[in-house]
């Protein structure tokens, strides 16, 4: 890929991207395509891939068909199966970084801790752990939702003397063979982990607080003949993707009651695979499908037919030096403790120490929960753009990211071409937009049930979900409306 020659009439810009996951890589590519080469991608890990770099637990895989996990500019037609495993996703992202010459822009092992707006210089200053500060005219946050790990507030957690780690930071130095393992949490990662580790462990205890909906997936590995056919003529997969895209796009609002009932039927049907009627009933969800993140697996329920897997629904009272004690007084001794307890998904950029105009902290701006115009810009934080920001989670994240990066690039080009010092969304426009989003969310009944989940901030607002279609998001972000933004000019 060759970049266009720099335009000497436009303002030169230094740009910092935080995160080398799908969002950061796509943003870097868009900048290069537009001729902006003075940018860095700051990544706390030692490689690209984001979620697919850090999450390496047994069984880690996508939860939408694989073809939704490749960008439109680099479609992949030879995934080994309809729901690709983590190593393939990571390899794909690494390939993107190499093919499009993004690696020279990456700085690995760079943990951004502070992001502060310098009003006098109209620039951002980024504090990086163990390194010199970085200044940038524009900052693009690609930290996303799944960045800040959640550890349960269980008494005695630090007293455990065996091996312990979070599922999102799996420690492969610990063998599972012959071990007794306690897994706390029964949602997305646990559903993928459990069927894998029961094949090696002596005993596994799964501690469940809430039974989740798990539905089947069509996931037979592709044969070599099929893969050869896809490579030679990708039209078959393109047609499947378009068909599925329409289904997902229309179903994102969760307002088709008949469809929700049909999906629940699939969940009830595969739960019948659990032979023990008591265990089967404990795995029955007590909330409507869609209230929480939908899960997919063909092997989770059959795992409970093994003698070395026990489902524990008695609440945990404390963690001891060698096990887990439940409220009934029983202590189950374990060698290895896995916290499959997810992420603080509602934090977004506030996982960092961010201050904007007038020294206003992001936590003050978001005292009612994370909020942004189009999920991309927050008033009071000029020249700061977010990818996979507030209320953009739904459907295909790579599809949503492409629309977001195109929108951010439009702002970058405006700043450069018009010689602006900064742009900042008008507070009233952001408020109007979010009122519209929250009104739509209020109309999605399944998102308004009183259940535990990562959708809501402490205030009770749903700050993660996008209540419209991907097609509508593309239309809203296709171009910028200059009147929606305040601007500062260099001569000022």
Q: What is the pLDDT of residues 298-329, one digit of tens each?
A: 999 999 999 999 999 999 999 999 999 999 99
Q: Are residues 272 and 323 in the same domain?
A: yes
For residue 71, which of 44, 43, 100, 46 has the smallest C-alpha distance? 100
Q: Are residues 350 and 283 in the same domain?
A: no
The pLDDT of residue 4 is 57
Query: Is residue 295 within 8 Å of 212, Cβ to Cβ?
Result: yes
**Residue where one domain finishes, among candidates 293, 309, 339:** 339
Tell whether 167 is covered by a domain. yes
**CATH number, domain at 304?**
3.50.50.60
Mean pLDDT, range 81-95, rounded to an integer? 97
Q: Are residues 402 and 454 in the same domain?
A: yes
Query: Is residue 324 within 8 Å of 433, Cβ to Cβ?
Result: no
Q: Are residues 335 and 348 in the same domain?
A: no
3-class state of residue 395 by DSSP:
coil
Q: Are residues 80 and 167 in the same domain?
A: no
Band (294; pLDDT cuts 50, 70, 90): confident
Q: Are residues 285 and 420 in the same domain?
A: no
The pLDDT of residue 466 is 95
**Residue where one domain finishes, among candidates 304, 339, 374:** 339
Q: Are residues 125 and 261 in the same domain?
A: no
Report the alpha-carbon distance of residue 172 to residue 186 in Å, rounded: 21
**Residue where one domain finishes, among candidates 281, 306, 339:** 339
Tell whether 218 is covered by a domain. no
* More reliable by pLDDT, 451 or 200: 200
How far is Cα of residue 101 from the mean position of the Cα atoms in its chain? Answer: 24
> How buried is 98 (Cβ within 10 angstroms: 0-12 exposed, 13-18 middle, 19+ buried)?
exposed
- From residue 199, alpha-carbon distances to 166, 193, 361, 368, 398 in Å are 20, 11, 48, 45, 33
Q: Are residues 29 and 141 in the same domain?
A: yes
Q: Are residues 33 and 125 in the same domain?
A: yes
3-class state of residue 232 by DSSP:
helix
Tell whether 225 is covered by a domain. no
Q: Are residues 295 and 398 in the same domain?
A: no
Tell whether 186 is covered by a domain. yes
Residue numbers of the domain that contains 180: 157-213+255-339
Report the alpha-carbon distance of residue 331 to residue 52 in Å, rounded: 35
- From residue 314, alpha-carbon distances to 125, 184, 377 in Å are 49, 12, 44
Q: Are residues 287 and 413 in the same domain?
A: no
pLDDT of 160-197, one tens digit each? 999 999 999 999 999 999 999 999 999 999 999 999 99
Report the alpha-carbon distance of residue 121 to residue 422 in Å, rounded: 11
Q: Are residues 314 and 410 in the same domain?
A: no
Tell whether 47 is covered by a domain. yes
Tell whether 396 is covered by a domain. yes
Tell whether 441 is covered by a domain. yes
Q: Provide the β-strand partners of residue 141.
A: 18, 386
């Amino acid at each position: 890929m060759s970049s266009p020659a720099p335009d000497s009439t436009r303002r030169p810009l230094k740009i910092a991207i935080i995160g080398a996951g799908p969002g950061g890589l796509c943003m870097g590519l868009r900048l290069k395509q537009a001729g902006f080469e003075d940018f860095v991608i700051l990544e706390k890990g030692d490689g690209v891939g984001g979620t697919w770099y850090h999450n390496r637990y047994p069984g880690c895989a996508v939860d939408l068909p694989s073809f939704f996990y490749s960008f439109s500019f680099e479609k992949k037609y030879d995934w080994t199966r309809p729901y690709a495993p983590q190593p393939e996703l990571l390899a794909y992202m690494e390939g993107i970084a190499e093919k499009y010459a993004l690696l020279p822009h990456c700085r690995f092992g760079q943990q951004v801790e502070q992001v502060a707006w310098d009003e006098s210089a109209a620039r951002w200053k980024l504090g990086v752990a163990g390194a010199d500060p970085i200044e940038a005219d524009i900052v693009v946050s690609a930290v996303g939702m799944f960045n800040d790990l959640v550890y349960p507030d269980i008494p005695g957690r630090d007293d455990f003397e065996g091996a312990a780690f979070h599922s999102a930071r799996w420690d492969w130095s610990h063998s599972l063979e012959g071990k007794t393992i306690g897994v706390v949490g029964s949602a997305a990662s646990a559903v993928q982990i459990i069927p894998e580790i029961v094949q090696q462990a002596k005993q596994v205890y799964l501690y469940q607080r809430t039974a989740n909906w798990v539905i089947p997936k069509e996931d037979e590995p592709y044969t070599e003949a099929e893969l050869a056919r896809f490579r030679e003529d990708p039209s078959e997969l393109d047609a499947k993707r378009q068909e599925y895209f329409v289904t997902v796009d229309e179903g994102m609002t969760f307002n088709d009651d008949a469809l929700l009932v049909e999906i629940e039927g699939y969940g009830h049907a595969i739960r019948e695979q659990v032979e023990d009627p008591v265990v089967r009933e404990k795995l029955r969800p007590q909330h409507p499908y869609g209230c929480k993140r939908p899960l997919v697996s063909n092997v989770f329920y059959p795992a409970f037919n093994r003698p070395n897997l026990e489902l524990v629904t008695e609440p945990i009272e404390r963690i001891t030096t060698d096990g887990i004690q439940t409220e009934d007084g029983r202590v189950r001794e374990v060698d290895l403790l896995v916290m499959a307890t997810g992420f603080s998904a509602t934090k977004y950029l506030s996982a960092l120490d961010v201050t904007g105009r007038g020294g206003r902290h992001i936590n003050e701006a978001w005292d009612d929960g994370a909020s942004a115009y189009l999920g991309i810009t927050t008033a009071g934080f000029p020249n700061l753009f977010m990818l996979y920001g507030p209320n953009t989670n739904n459907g295909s994240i790579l599809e949503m990211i492409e629309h977001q990066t195109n929108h951010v690039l439009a702002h970058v080009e405006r700043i450069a071409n018009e010689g602006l010092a900064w742009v900042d969304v008008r507070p009233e426009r952001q408020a109007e937009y979010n009122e519209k989003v929250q009104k739509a969310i209020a109309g999605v009944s399944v998102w308004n049930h009183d259940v535990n989940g990562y959708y809501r901030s402490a205030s009770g607002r749903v700050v993660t979900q996008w209540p419209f279609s991907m097609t509508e998001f593309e239309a809203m972000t296709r171009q910028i409306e200059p009147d929606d933004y305040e601007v500062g000019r260099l001569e000022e």
